[in-house]
């Protein structure tokens, strides 16, 4: 039996018994057991702005610095302030997130939201939380196909556990084709005017998505918010590539 089958069986079991989402063995309150959490949680050295991995060779010249940004962010700072990711988008989290999205394995949203919540609490120790949590919306067509928006589920979970209002002002008015395999320029073009803001937002918000890859989606949404009175946009996601 493949790991994938094990993962799915574990997933099905965990729905009923509240076992760990990933191994299916340990009983746990947050949906992920301590060993799986320790396996999934490490991010490695990351850019303090976009949360992309920073290779050791990139900084070999300079002193190791936990708080440095990657070359790309230094050259062209993104619209958002920072990305906070629960974990890296790699095995087994990549599988878990596709199970969540395409096989309605919603328990992964719960367990990984707990991992994100831990990261968020650490990141905001010295600063105040955003005033509102805003999910990256799906186009209504996609929403009716899938039946749920995984980012919305994550947002509701975090709004609840962190006591931050959940705001649904942001909507998607353009059905963007799959972004996989497209150049950064093509991604931006596809996303142009993809979002619409239905009502004003507070000055500090967090945009929430399941996976952030190049950051073009969250950048486009962040720009719209910043053009409409928002002063700071943070990005929270379950996984960053
Ligand atoms: Zn486990
Ligand atoms: Zn960066």
How far, in Å, is the centroid of ligand 2 from the Cα of 6?
35
Nearest to 221 by CA among 162, 158, 128, 138: 138
How far, in Å, is the centroid of ligand 1 from the Cα of 40?
10
Cα gap 60→49, rounded to integer Å = 19
Fold designation for 3-56+65-240: Rossmann fold (3.40.50)
How many angstroms from the chain centroid is the CA of residue 140? 20
The model's confidence at residue 162, banded by pLDDT at 50, 70 and 90, is very high
140 vs 14, residue with greater confidence: 140
Please report which ligand is nearest the Cα atom of 111.
Answer: 1
How far, in Å, is the centroid of ligand 2 from the Cα of 225?
21
Q: What pLDDT is attached to residue 160?
A: 96
How far, in Å, is the centroid of ligand 2 from the Cα of 13?
38
Nearest to 208 by CA among 195, 221, 226, 191: 221
Contact 78, 50 (CB under 8 A): yes
The model's confidence at residue 58, banded by pLDDT at 50, 70 and 90, is low
Percent of the chain with pLDDT over 70: 90
Interacting residues of 211 by C-beta distance below 8 A, sequence separation 6+? 89, 97, 237, 238, 239, 240, 241
Contact 185, 216 (CB under 8 A): no
How far, in Å, is the centroid of ligand 2 from the Cα of 133?
22
Compute the average pLDDT of residues 23-49: 92
The model's confidence at residue 26, banded by pLDDT at 50, 70 and 90, is confident
* 92 cis-preceded (ω within 30 degrees of 0): yes
Q: What pLDDT is attached to residue 5?
A: 78
How many angstroms from the chain centroid is the CA of residue 115? 11
How far, in Å, is the centroid of ligand 2 from the Cα of 86?
16
pTM: 0.87
Cα gap 70→206, rounded to integer Å = 21
Please report which ligand is nearest the Cα atom of 78.
Answer: 2
How far, in Å, is the centroid of ligand 2 from the Cα of 237?
15
How far, in Å, is the centroid of ligand 1 from the Cα of 20?
4
**pLDDT > 60? residue 15:** no
Q: What pLDDT is attached to residue 57?
A: 61
Please report which ligand is nearest the Cα atom of 241.
Answer: 2
Listed by start position, the domains of the chain span 3-56+65-240
Cα gap 44→51, rounded to integer Å = 10
**pLDDT > 50? residue 149:** yes
Q: What strands, in cross-sheet order, belong to the sheet with 83-88?
A: 83-88, 232-240, 204-212, 132-135, 166-167
How far, in Å, is the centroid of ligand 2 from the Cα of 66?
13
**pLDDT > 90? residue 126:** yes
Contact 172, 195 (CB under 8 A): yes
How far, in Å, is the centroid of ligand 1 from the Cα of 19?
8
Give the β-pairing of 232-240 and 204-212.
parallel
Please report which ligand is nearest the Cα atom of 26.
Answer: 1
Compute the average pLDDT of residues 151-179: 93
Cα gap 217→187, rounded to integer Å = 8
Cα gap 211→97, rounded to integer Å = 8
Nearest to 201 by CA among 161, 175, 171: 171
Cα gap 96→109, rounded to integer Å = 9
How far, in Å, is the centroid of ligand 2 from the Cα of 52?
6
**pLDDT > 80? residue 10:** no
Residue with tokens 């958002």: 80
């Amino acid at each position: 039996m493949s790991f994938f089958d094990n993962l799915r069986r574990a997933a099905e079991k965990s729905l009923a018994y509240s076992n760990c989402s990933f191994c299916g063995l340990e009983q746990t309150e947050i949906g992920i057991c301590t060993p799986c959490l320790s396996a999934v949680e490490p991010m490695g050295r990351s850019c303090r702005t976009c949360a992309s991995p920073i290779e050791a060779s990139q900084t070999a010249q300079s002193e190791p610095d936990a708080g440095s940004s990657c070359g790309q962010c230094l050259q062209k700072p993104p619209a958002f302030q920072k990305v906070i990711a629960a974990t890296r988008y790699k095995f087994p989290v990549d599988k878990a997130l596709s199970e969540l999205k395409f096989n309605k394995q919603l328990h992964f949203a719960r367990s990984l939201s707990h991992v994100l919540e831990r990261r968020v609490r650490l990141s905001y120790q010295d600063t105040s939380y955003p005033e509102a949590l805003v999910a990256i919306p799906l186009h209504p067509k996609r929403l009716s196909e899938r039946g749920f928006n995984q980012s919305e589920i994550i947002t509701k979970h975090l709004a609840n556990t962190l006591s931050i209002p959940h705001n649904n002002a942001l909507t998607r008015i353009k059905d963007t084709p799959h972004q996989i395999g497209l150049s950064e320029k093509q991604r931006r073009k596809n996303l142009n005017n993809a979002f619409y803001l239905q009502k004003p937002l507070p000055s500090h918000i967090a945009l929430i998505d399941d996976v952030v890859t190049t950051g073009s989606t969250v950048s486009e949404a962040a720009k719209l918010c910043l053009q409409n009175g928002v002063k700071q946009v943070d990005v929270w996601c379950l996984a960053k590539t």
